[in-house]
Amino acid sequence: MKLKNKLFFAQIIVVLLMFVTMTLMLSQIVYMTSSQNDRDNTMILNEQIMTQIDQYFEELERFTEVVAEDGELKNLIWECMRNPTEQKKAQIRIYLSGLAVKNKMKSYSVRGIYIELHDSKNEYDYSTVGFSDKIKGYLREKLQAIPENEGDFIDPFLEDGDSTTAWGNTFNMVYGYVLPYQDSQMSGRIVVISAFDQIIYIAEKMSGYSNDYLLMNSENQVFLSGMKETGISINEVLENLEYGNSYMEGYYEEPGAITTVRFSEPAGWKIMCRLTREDILLNNQSLILLDEVLVAVFGLCVVLIMLPIVKKFTAPLSKVSEQMQEIAKGNLQARIQVESNDEIAEVGRSFNLMAEKLQENIDKMLEQEKREQKMRYSLLISQVDPHFIYNTMNMITYLAQKGRNEDVIAVNRAMIEILKDRLRIDLEEVYDTVDQEIKVTEQFLIIQKYRYADTFKTEIQIEKEAKGCYIAKNVIQPLVENALFHGILCNRDEDGEILGGCIQIQVKKDGDYIWISIKDNGIGMSEKMIEELEKQPISKIRGKHIGIRNIKGRIHYIYGNNCSFAIRSKEGEGTEVLVKLPEMN
């Protein structure tokens, strides 16, 4: 790692350590300063929630009193008691069912009304439409525990099964208020049932401040809990309660938590809410975040101030390192500008001297290598098999002796064209058109067809777009020669007779590349022989397959890695040589 980076990361680590330390301290500071404020806010929220709940309790109590004082209801009941008929009972049920609407009560505020009366002889009960016997039985059981001359609340209960539609409405939990019902000739009690769901909905607003809260009745029975396993110890809180601004509220502080309490005056219900350290920190997350941002900004400012200072001290070393990397990449012109007289400047001057000496030595080596490469390429491209010349001259002599003057002229002209193409070599001009390469190949095939009459045939397919493209010289003809002599002519029967065959020559253009395929159906090669041709350098190959190695060496010299040379062959089936060359402009 570079020195500059080491110093930079050291600064980052220091800033991070400072940030973590400050964050831990901030959490404790925020908890200490905000716990009392959060406690007071929670007590205010408790008061608001309990005030809303009390309004529902008081509304239910007032409506029950209205029902108890309703004169028309008393007349209907008195007439029914004097002359009880189903029609009069139905009138009472309908009248009771309409009292909520008549007094502009919400549907969830009044779920049902139940009246239980008795005189000196009989007992009577009346209810709203849809009031089930099961609910009546439950209410009778609860009424037995409440004194007849007192008003009181009935704790919430959940009716299972069909009772979910007991009053024509679906509900979860309900609660009620009981009030004595007195007349001159009869007495009893009225129970008004209201939905407890709305009370739960109001109490659940505590979750905006803490998830650990309880809603309890006067006997500390829990009807709503924010968590499955609460951390509130009810008895411990009530025993150690410290009252706030009134006897209706208080709080209890314990290590790492604060529990607030709010009481309901009408029903004696209470709300408890427990704030843990995590809750308080979460409620003040914006303050903590602001402090952390300030610490981070401070650390960033320190880093930004230190960056130019560090850069000033490390810049000379960076320049030396950069120029050394340039030398490693091959840029031998890289030099260091020395602007001081310290130790780093001495290193720079020594580096410049070393680079100059290295440049001189490499220039000499490259010049020598260039001369050797030119000589080697010249030899490769201008090779002509002496046996080819010898055999061609013998064939010309034979044709002359037979008096076949026209054939002598044709063979001689073909040979002249081949030799002329080989002698047309300039070290700086190593490319020729596909069309010219095919013409030279055709001249070679003319000579061989005279020599091996009716032994082989050729198929040449050249795309029109490829004819004018430039490729490396002397690629196609040696491959065709190799296919003939080491593929077709080596394919013999048991008596040693040549079986003959076909050589297919295809050249096509695909994008910026020229594809050359030379294929024969001759004797073929084994995988082992192909591997040997691929692995051995050209200097180790003599005679057989020299054409393939010659071409492979030349195209890799010219094109580098921007070309490919592949041999596909199977013994007894033939060989295909596939060459991919980039088009040269």
The tens-digit pLDDT sequence of the chain (585 residues) is: 666 667 667 777 877 777 777 776 666 666 666 677 778 888 888 889 999 999 999 999 999 999 988 889 888 988 888 888 989 999 999 999 999 888 888 877 888 899 998 877 788 889 998 888 888 888 888 888 888 888 889 988 875 544 433 334 444 788 999 999 887 678 889 999 998 888 888 998 888 778 889 999 888 999 888 888 888 999 999 999 888 888 889 999 888 888 999 998 878 899 999 888 777 777 667 766 777 777 777 777 877 777 777 677 667 667 777 777 777 777 767 777 766 676 667 777 787 788 788 878 877 877 766 655 665 555 555 555 565 676 678 778 867 877 777 878 887 888 787 777 766 655 446 788 999 999 989 988 888 888 888 889 999 999 999 999 999 888 898 899 889 888 998 888 888 888 889 999 999 999 999 999 999 999 998 888 888 777 655 444 444 455 677 788 888 888 888 999 999 999 989 999 999 999 876
Q: What is the DSSP string of 213-262?
A: EEEE-TT--EEEESSSS----HHHHHHT-EE-SSTTEEEEEETTEEEEEE
Amino acid in position 435 = D
Fold classification of 385-582 (topology level): Heat Shock Protein 90 (3.30.565)
**What is the β-pairing status of strands 112-118 and 187-195?**
antiparallel
- Predicted confidence at residue 539, as pLDDT, reads 45
Structure tokens at 79: 């007439």
Q: CA triplet 183, 189, 193: central angle to 5 degrees?
A: 135
The Cα 408–Cα 400 span in angstroms is 6
Edge-first strand listing for the sheet containing 222-225: 222-225, 213-216, 270-276, 257-263, 249-254, 242-243
| pLDDT score recorded for residue 340 | 66
Let me know: does 119 contact 186? Beta carbons within 8 Å: yes
pLDDT at site 161: 45
Q: What is the pLDDT of residue 215?
A: 92
Can you give the pLDDT at residue 467?
93
Integer Cα distance of 296 and 585 in angstroms:
60
Residue 196, token pair as written in the block: 């407890």
pTM for the predicted model, two decimal places? 0.47
**Residue 226 contacts residue 23 (beta carbons within 8 Å):** no
